[in-house]
Amino acid sequence: MHLKDPLVLTEHHHPFDIRKSWGAYSPFYSVQEYPSPPNGCEITQLQRHGARYPTSGASMNIVSAVRKLQSVDKYAHPAMEFLSSFVYTLGTDDLVPSGALQSYEAGASVFERYANLVDADNVPFVRASSGVRVVDSAANWTAGFFAASHHKYNPPLSVILSETGNDTLENHMCPNAGSSATQTAEWLAIYAPPITARLNAWAPGADLSDRETSALISLCAFHTAATTPDTLSPFCALFTLSDFTSFDYYYDIDKYYNTGYGAQQGLGRVQGVGYVNELLARLTRMPVRDQTQTNRTLDSDPATFPLNRTIYADFSHDNTMVAIFAALGLFRQPRPLSTSEPDARRTWRTTQIVPFSGRMVVEKLACDEGGEYVRILVNDALQSLNFCASGEDSFGVDLCSLHAFVESQSYARSNGGGDWERCFS
């Protein structure tokens, strides 16, 4: 998939791809070129579902904003004229065709990279949380893998974890967990009013609210993904580069304070503990040790949680993946994200962390120097493991010995350091 003319030049003549400023609604892209591993490996891949329609909750603000814009007598700016004949047809929640393709291409990519790890007796073990778009993404991934293998290896979707029970691929099991509503409202009150004023001037009488303005920016992404994947939606032309940059930061704040490091009482990252303990079990080929949200019945059965595969693929949601990243210790920030001004040096960028079809790959490597090592890639970008790697190691900080990596995960191994109990106290 290639958008036509998604790049524009800033005033300093630097290219700016607006697709990479849609926060969690950005399409998948490789943050860096994939670096080939030193030698043989096993992999665990965690992936978000592909591009979808807006959720039912988000659709309310979107539909309200569109109706207001279409209710005015006359537009004062030509960028609004398309609304005279525009018909809103987006669904809710489910994958769009471009989202299905994202997962299909991801499955094909995994086979192409790791074909040497697959044989008739060892195909990927695939799990998904039970949301329809997550299950569909997993099925599209397996179809892509099957096609790339020239229809030789067809991995089944082996386990669908129920969202009503214990599920490490969901983030609904911590009743006391708060939300990022306070922090996102603070940033919305700063960045949105000038945009709202401009749009209301272009559509006199529309009386858009700031939340509806933010919803219209998201519609640029949703409408592009759903109906015009090869070109930008006309809604995108209503906004400037600065608008998109501010909107992008809105979702950085949202994820950071919802299930990331900034969540109240540590109840964000603790929701990733169960998955991290499952990951450690796979890496060490030892039984899962966890007292949080793991499904102990499934995890204790080799048929539903095998420890002898070379490729594992799990499918989940963005908020869950953020919790897992934080539980692992990835993307730590020197200070909490400001709700009044973006830090240009931050590495917490939602569009690079959990875009649609975003993915984390954990590779266990058998290196020529001896021993087993671990490295982690998020959207193909190799992550610093300075919490367990030694700067004096010949491999640098992008690779940890398996033992050092396991030891570094004390937060998960202690079941969240008491945070899990706070979910219910």
**According to the model, what pLDDT value does residue 230 have?**
75
- Residue 110 confidence class, pLDDT cut points 50, 70, 90: very high
Q: How would you label 309-347 residue by residue, b for 16+ Cβ within 10 Å and e otherwise?
A: bbbbbbbbbbbbbbbbbbbbbbbeeeeebebeebeeebe
CA distance 137 to 119: 23
- Residue 9 confidence class, pLDDT cut points 50, 70, 90: very low
**According to the model, what pLDDT value does residue 369 have?**
66
CA distance 220 to 234: 7
Q: Is 14 a catalytic residue?
A: no
Cross-strand bridge partners of residue 376:
362
pTM: 0.94
DSSP state letter for 33: P
Domain chopping of the chain, boundaries: 20-52+95-175+259-422, 54-93+178-240
Pair of tokens at residue 124: 């990927």
CATH of domain 20-52+95-175+259-422: 3.40.50.1240
- Residue 163 confidence class, pLDDT cut points 50, 70, 90: confident
User: Which residues have a Cβ under 8 Å from the Cβ of 212 and sit 6 or more positions away?
Assistant: 61, 64, 65, 68, 196
Q: Does residue 8 have a pLDDT over 50?
A: no
Q: Does residue 202 have a pLDDT over 80?
A: yes
Helix axis angle for 210-227 and 56-70, nearest 10°, is: 100
**According to the model, what pLDDT value does residue 86 have?**
96
Q: Does residue 15 have a pLDDT over 60?
A: no
Determine contact, residues 246/234, Cβ cutoff 8 Å: no
Mean pLDDT of the chain: 92
- Residues 327-346, mean pLDDT to the nearest whole number: 96
User: Number of H helices and number of E strands within the chain?
Assistant: 13, 10
| CA-based R_g, the chain, Å | 22
- Residue 394 confidence class, pLDDT cut points 50, 70, 90: low
**According to the model, what pLDDT value does residue 5 have?**
42
Taken in order 83, 89, 91, 94, the sign of the CA dihedral is negative
Catalytic residue among 2, 49, 368, 393: 49
**According to the model, what pLDDT value does residue 38 have?**
60
Q: Does residue 364 have a pLDDT over 70?
A: yes
Catalytic residue among 248, 290, 314, 318: 318
Q: Is 318 a catalytic residue?
A: yes
